[in-house]
Each structure stands twice: as structure tokens, then as C-alpha cells.
Structure 1
Amino acid sequence: MGEIVKILTIEDEAAVRRSLVAHLEDMEYDYIEASSGSEGIALFKESNPDLVLCDLRLPGMDGLDVLSTLTELSPDTPIIIVSGANQVADAIQALKRGAWDYITKPIVDFQTLDTAMERALNRARLIKENHAYQKHLEALNIELSAALGQLREDEEAARALQSSLLPPKEAQFGEYKFRRQLFPSLLLSGDFVDYFPIGDHEVGFYIADISGHGAASAFVTVMLKTLFEKHLDAYQRDQEDVIRQPSDMLDHLNRAIYVSPIEKYLTIFYGVLDLREHRLRFCSGGQFPYPMLFDGQEIKTLTSHDKPVGLFEDSIFMQHEIDFTSVQQMLMISDGILELFPRDSARRRTEWLLQMVADGSPEIDDLVERFNIEELDEIPDDIAFLSIVRGSDDE
């Protein structure tokens, strides 16, 4: 059961006040009564209510002055003006001073009051959550900034840290074997992959490519890992469901990366695979080349994608779901692979990639050999592989 909402009523007319508190009691709200503006302000400071119902015509201190005082004391506490029908102009003035809503009295239909209170409480709750999330991000950014400086001082330690955050090169989840391989162009990589169980029948996985190279980009991979683990831990504690919903997860990542002082953005494909139903929920934040699906006969690509993560504050991410039953393998490669082809349009190089993959085995080791990656003197850009192959545990 949620916390009981406390409502302060400031009303000098005893009959109206009794009517209000009787209704609040019926709705199982906690309530506090004040018959004057000065009493209302004192009770507000003492009891810290969740919402205030305030009349405009009060003895002594005027309702507008009460409103100004309460708004200054606590801007995020919703205040609803309960105004006489002939005081609409004053009510409009009250809205300009910070009132959240107003209703006219006498209150004929209390559903109007209930709707106004519910709307105001929901808005206040959202503001409170955003403030808490912003404080969390600010604290995280302070930690990240300090860690970034430390990483720049010791890139070897940074590489060891980054490597320790990667999942095992192979992992079996039910019928599916996950494999990954990374080839950094520098000592540190701006590409990152991960896969992890969610509950007892789902697996989350992602491939990400952070803008730029070096310590700053590598540090964002640490931040990425931390944010995913935070939401996974929250799910395991039954606090939220974000980690299971790729669009929600990318929305949270977008907000965190956007306000980060590192000034980076990333492309990412995040999927959640249901091992029992063989269905894939996914969301792509600008990931390219597109993930490839093999059914034993042809290659299909998942072309649905949205904007990169952390580039725009108001980005919207769409979630998709597909039947994964016929998929034998899913292959994801970061865009560094395209740098191995002759300079041409992205479309042309993507066509070459698909042809190269189709001409032989799509297994990561075979692709690495076919592209001759390990023999290159210099890799022009980070390259990451992530593969999901369906087969029994015994294979």
C-alpha cells in the first residue's frame, strides 16, 4: 500500500471546510484544517502537506498572498485554488502566481475536485522523481569526471578495467550460445558488448559504439555498463521493469548520456530475448550496420532504428518485437568493419558486407579470418562482433 497523501485545506467558511474534509476523509486522504491564511502557512511549515486546497477570500491575510508565500516556501507542492464563481478573475491571477489549478465553489460535483487533485498529485510525483533522478545523475557525473581523470592518467589500467567489464567470450543461455569479439583501434576501445540473464527465462544483450576514440570514449563504456547494472539490480529487487523494456532502457540511457560532462553520444542495439517463447524485443539507437538474421536460407536485416543515444535531449525510442523461432543465428558488427572496404557510400559498403558474410560461414572466427583482421598492421576503427547462435547445450 502506498503512503497516505496529506492535504491541507485553508478555508474560512466552516460549512465549506467541513464539506471538504468530509470528502477527503471518504477518499482516505489525511487532512489538516486551517481557517485563516496565517494559520494555513503555519500548518504548512509544520506538516509539509502533499497538496493544498486554498480559498482566495480569507480573513486577515489575502488568499493570493498566502499562495505567494506557500509557492516561495515550496514551489513543487501543488496548490489548488477553491474560488467562488464570481472570483474567476482572481483565480486567473492566482494561476499566474503559481497555483496549479482552480475549481469554483460551491462544489456541486466532487469528481471535479478529485480529478484536479489526482492530476496535480501525479504531476508533483513526476517532478519529485525527476529531481531525484537528476541528483542521481549529478552524483554519477561527479564520480565519472573523477574516474575519467584517473583513466587518462593510466590507460593500461583503463584497458584492464574495460576488459574486466566484458562478458565471457562465450556464454550459453538455454538453446542459445552468445559469442563476442572486440578489436580496438587504440589501446582503449569505444565499442562495447554485453549479455546477461534477466530473471529465469530472458537474456538482455547489446552492442554499442561510442563516438570518438581513446580514454573518454572508453570511459563511456564503463558508464554504460554501470547504468545497465543499476537497472538490472533494480529489477532483481522488484523496484522497476526498465531493463526488460528496450525502449525504456534507451530512454534512461539517453537522459544520462545527454547530461554527462563527457560530451559523447553512442549508437546501440539493445535486445531482450525470451528463451521460452523465442521472441525478441528490441530497440535500436542508430546502430549500423543493421543486425543480420540467418534462417539457414537467407539473410535478413533489422532496419528499424531511431536516433543515437545522448545526441538529443528529446529523442523518442520505439520498441519492436519479432518472432525468433526460425532464426538460427543473429549477427551484429559495429561500423568499424565498413572501414575495411574501399571508400564509397555507406549503402555500397553495406552491400559488400552482406555479400562477404553470405559468401561463407557467419561464425565470428571465420569472419575475422575472412576479413584478415588479426593480420592488419593498423585497424582504422574499433570493430566489435556479437553473435547469437541457436542450438542445444550439447552442440
Structure 2
Amino acid sequence: MAVGKATLLVIDDDASVRESLAGYLEDSGYDVLQAADGVAGLEVFYADQPDLVLCDLRMPRKDGLAVLQEVVDRRPDVPFIVVSGAGVMSDVVSALRFGASDYIVKPVTDLAVVEHAIDKALERVRLLHENNTYRETLEDTNQRLQDTIETLEADLRAGRHVQQSMLPPKPFQAHGLNADYELHPSLFLSGDFVDYFELQPGVLLHYIVDVAGHGVSSAMVTILIRNEVIRLKNEWRYKVSQHIAHPAEVLAHLNQELLRSKIGKHATLFIGILDSLNQTYCYANAAHFPYPILKVDGAVKALELPSSALGLFPNARYEEFTLNYDSEFAVAMCSDGLLEINTDQPLADREQAWMELVSACDFSVPAICAQLRLQDIEESPDDMTILSVTHWNRLRKDNV
């Protein structure tokens, strides 16, 4: 049941769904406002200032994504839960990226799930408000905190050392394969991570991770993921399991492990296996964005693969794809912090500029970093990571 009496706004063009939700939530102790489409919903939102918005994604006049963007722009402190049909998961990924607090899949057979999502979102807001109040009183406790600073700094240095020691050596060159990366953390501890290793000569597994948030808890998730991947590799080596050879199975395993850990963090991850012997590329995606950039026999494109992030949904499913190439293959990926360098441009323009930059630099990480002038960026709002893996059946000189 709801704590206190919050005001909710339910926006859905399906009157039966809207009224059913409203009736249930009113019985649960909420004040509920209703709107039949996005335009009317925004009018109610501005007039009545609800504490939370529950909104369908597919509606006439103004869809749920447009409503979400306006609400987040005007009132980022108001939780926004999207309601989506099971067939439009790409819209859900976009909604989460634009700032949605949570999502619910239609048809809603158990309204208690809706109430739980609302309670959780409102509780998160309450805690944020409490944290803001708490920060206003920190000046009175600064003196006591001084005694612990040296210990905390030592712990952070140890954590950074552990995290850095897990990164693979770079650049990697063996059996015609090349791999390189750059990781530029926004804080002392990074929520980004990359790794690659040969499953056998000429077969390179590689992945990039972007954990939500920053700091110690995010770094713990990167350690958990890396250790689980290594465990799967050892199980494959000793013929205990074949999971590591199948990217989608790796993602399913990591999703369950992250949920079981109860750290409360989710992560995006793209994983691929490049087989230079058979000239195939097998890959799977767990909501990682921006999408990887591929070059296959001269053709460059973005590899758009909407899916579920790790650590959010126990029943998440991950698809696996395989492609063949004849003469050359390259893939470059980055964390979304790289697109925050120039926020004056629309997101679609930044994605296009990233693809053009990767292509112009011929997938060379040093050349990309030089063009972006990453060495000159001392502080950034998010971690920035680039990973490139190539198999060139030709002589090549890096564009540095």
C-alpha cells in the first residue's frame, strides 16, 4: 500500500486500461488523475503537478516518448513509469535512456506489480529528497570526516589498482587479430570496463560494459562481471560448460548473477566473438548504447540491437547473431559517455558523427582519441571508453 497520499497521473488512450489502473490505485490510497492522450496528459501535468506519471508509449497526437522528454526536461524530479506492449521493446530502451524510472509490459495481469513499481519510484524520490536535506547539514560534520579521509583515499587507491589490473594488455595483436581500447574514467573508480582474450588461436572474445552510475558500487559490478566471464572461460576450457562460446548465453548468465548479487545496479554490455579462421562474427547485446560500428568487406554501418540491460529483469532474453565476411572485418564500440562530449547537437547527429569518425580513422583507437582530443579532457560527466577489434586480410598502418 502507498505510504502517505501521493497524486498520480495515468495517461493511456485505452479507456478500459486507464480506468482499471485508476480504480485500483485509488483503492490503494492514491489520488489519481487521468488523461486519454499525451497532449491532454501534459495539460493535466502542468495544471495539477502530480508526484508520478504512469504513461502508455503508443498513443495518438503525442506519444509516450515525447511526453517523457518534456516531463524530464521540465521536472526531472518526477518519476515517470512507461507502459509498453511486449512487441515494442526498442521504445522501452529509448525511454530508459531518456530518463524513465521503470517500465511495465502490457497486458498488466497483476496490478500489484504496478503498485510495487510506483511505491519503489516514490520511495526513491523520497530518499533523494532526504539526501538533499542531509547534504545541507554536512558542514557541521566536516571536522569529523577529516579523520577518515586518508583511510578512504587509501581504499580508493586500492580499488583503482584492482580495477586497472583487470584490464587486458593493449594493444593486442595475434593470429591476424588486432584489439585496442581507451578508458577515460570520470571519477577515480570507473563504471566502464573492457576485456578481450583468445578462446583459441585466431578466435577473440571481447566485450564492453557500461554500469549505471559511478563510484565504488559501479566498480564492484565491473569486477563481478569480469570474474564471471573468467569463470565461464575456465568452465569451457575444462569442458564443464559451453556457455562462453555463445554470447547470448553469457548475457543470460550475467543477468542472473547480477540480480542474485542484490547490488542494485544494472549494466549494459555488448559481447562478440571474432573467428578469423572461419571469418565469422558472433555477437549479442544487452541494451548497450551507442550501437557498435561495423565494417564488413568495406561496408560501414551501425549494429542496432535493442534489448534488455543486465540486472533489471529476471526473465530477460538475449538474441545471438552471426555474420560472415570475406576480406576484412572491424568493429568499434564506445560507452555513452563519449556522446556527452558535445551535447549541443541532437543525439542522432552525435551518433552519425561517431560513425563517420570511426570510419575516417579506420577503426584505430589512437587515431579516434587524437581526433576527439581525449588527452585534453580532465573532467567529464561520465566515463568514456572506446574498444576496437579488427581482422584485416591486408597490410595496414594505423592512422595515429
- Give yes or no for TM over 0.5: yes
Deviation at 1:311, TM superposition (A): 1.1
Alignment of 1:262 onto 2:272: no
Distance in 1 separating the partners of 2:325 and 2:154 = 45
**SS of 1:259's equivalent?**
helix
Alignment of 1:182 onto 2:183: yes
Deviation at 1:153, TM superposition (A): 6.8
Tell me how large the CA RMSD over aligned residues is.
2.2
1:341 aligned partner: 342
- State the AA in 2 paired with 1:235: W
Task: Give CA-to-partner distance per residue, 1:76-98, whole Å, 9 cap, x none.
Answer: xxxxxxxxxxxxxxxxxxxxxxx
> May I ask how many residue pairs the two structures share in their alignment?
246
Deviation at 1:259, TM superposition (A): 2.1
Contact 1:151 1:215 (8 Å CA) reproduced = no
1:286 aligned partner: 287
Deviation at 1:359, TM superposition (A): 4.4
Deviation at 1:393, TM superposition (A): 10
Distance in 2 separating the partners of 1:203 and 1:159 = 26
Deviation at 1:310, TM superposition (A): 1.0
Task: Give CA-to-partner distance per residue, 1:171-214, whole Å, 9 cap, x none.
Answer: 12311111111100011111100001113442211011011001
- State the AA in 1 paired with 2:255: N
Task: Give CA-to-partner distance per residue, 1:248-290, whole Å, 9 cap, x none.
Answer: 1100000011122211111111111222101011100011111
- State the AA in 2 paired with 1:205: H
Distance in 1 separating the partners of 2:389 and 2:163 = 22
Contact 2:247 2:284 (8 Å CA) reproduced = yes
Contact 1:192 1:221 (8 Å CA) reproduced = yes
Instruction: In structure 2, list runs of 5 or more residues that go unmatched.
Output: 1-150
Q: In the superposition, relative to structure 1, how do residues 282 and 342 fare at CA in structure 2: closer, same or farther (>3 Å)?
A: same
1:323 aligned partner: 324
Distance in 1 separating the partners of 2:329 and 2:282 = 17
**SS of 1:353's equivalent?**
helix
- State the AA in 1 paired with 2:203: E
Matches within 5 A, 1:281-320: 281-295=282-296, 297-320=298-321
Q: In the superposition, relative to structure 1, how do residues 215 and 259 fare at CA in structure 2: closer, same or farther (>3 Å)?
A: same
Distance in 2 separating the partners of 1:393 and 1:168 = 24
Deviation at 1:344, TM superposition (A): 4.7
- State the AA in 2 paired with 1:256: E
Instruction: In structure 1, list runs of 5 or more residues that go unmatched.
Output: 1-149
2:243 aligned partner: 242
Deviation at 1:343, TM superposition (A): 3.8
Q: In the superposition, relative to structure 1, how do residues 374 and 287 fare at CA in structure 2: closer, same or farther (>3 Å)?
A: same
Larger radius of gyration: 1
Alignment of 1:192 onto 2:193: yes
Distance in 1 separating the partners of 2:220 and 2:323 = 33
Contact 1:155 1:187 (8 Å CA) reproduced = yes
- State the AA in 2 paired with 1:307: S
Q: In the superposition, relative to structure 1, how do residues 340 and 367 fare at CA in structure 2: closer, same or farther (>3 Å)?
A: same
Question: Identical aligned pairs, as a percentage?
Answer: 30
Contact 2:202 2:277 (8 Å CA) reproduced = yes
Contact 2:297 2:326 (8 Å CA) reproduced = no
Deviation at 1:325, TM superposition (A): 3.1
Contact 2:296 2:325 (8 Å CA) reproduced = no
| TM-score, normalization by structure 2 | 0.58
**SS of 1:356's equivalent?**
helix
Q: In the superposition, relative to structure 1, how do residues 152 and 376 fare at CA in structure 2: closer, same or farther (>3 Å)?
A: closer
2:368 aligned partner: 367
Contact 2:282 2:322 (8 Å CA) reproduced = yes
**SS of 1:177's equivalent?**
strand
Contact 1:246 1:283 (8 Å CA) reproduced = yes
- State the AA in 1 paired with 2:155: D
2:351 aligned partner: 350
Distance in 1 separating the partners of 2:235 and 2:248 = 17
| TM-score, normalization by structure 1 | 0.58
Deviation at 1:292, TM superposition (A): 0.9
**SS of 1:349's equivalent?**
helix
